[in-house]
Amino acid sequence: MSEPFNIPIRVYIEDTDAGGIVYYVNYLKYMERARTELVRALGYDKPAMPQQGLLLVVHSAEIQYRRSALLDDELRASAAVGKVGRAAVTFEQKIWRGSEIICEGVVKVACVDDASRKPCALPENIHQALKAASQNS
């Protein structure tokens, strides 16, 4: 996957504070949607894999806010697969308004055992799909 995966986002009133500015945590929600849809586009329609006893959970996030999004803005959330390890993957993500990046970050997602909540290896088929989609491959 040479180009980042993108989804459109419309800013609704529920996303904003009283001044019509997007509340900071909602950018993380937009990024979550983009990651989920990217994994879906790779052929996995359930990013959490409870039937296999596995979960994909956010390990860490580093976010930089550049500009505020406003009520009714049309945004675009992108996700690109970065580094793929045996038990974790990083996603490079951006929120765009037109051609301007208004928020960007790196989100690390880990695979954990549903029962123990301890890290475990990604299933081989998902690992290979993510490696193939990685911009680092």
* Rounded CA separation 106/93 (Å): 6
Confirm if 76 and 95 have CB atoms less than 8 A apart. Answer: yes
Exactly one of 17, 73, 113, 114 is catalytic; name it: 17
Q: Determine whether 15 is an active site residue.
A: no
List Cβ neighbours of 31 (8 Å cut-off, separation of 6 or more): 77, 79, 91, 93, 95, 105, 107
- Sequence-ordered list of residues with C-beta below 8 angstroms from that of 6, at least 6 positions apart, any chain: 34, 76, 77, 78
Q: Which of the residues are catalytic?
A: 17
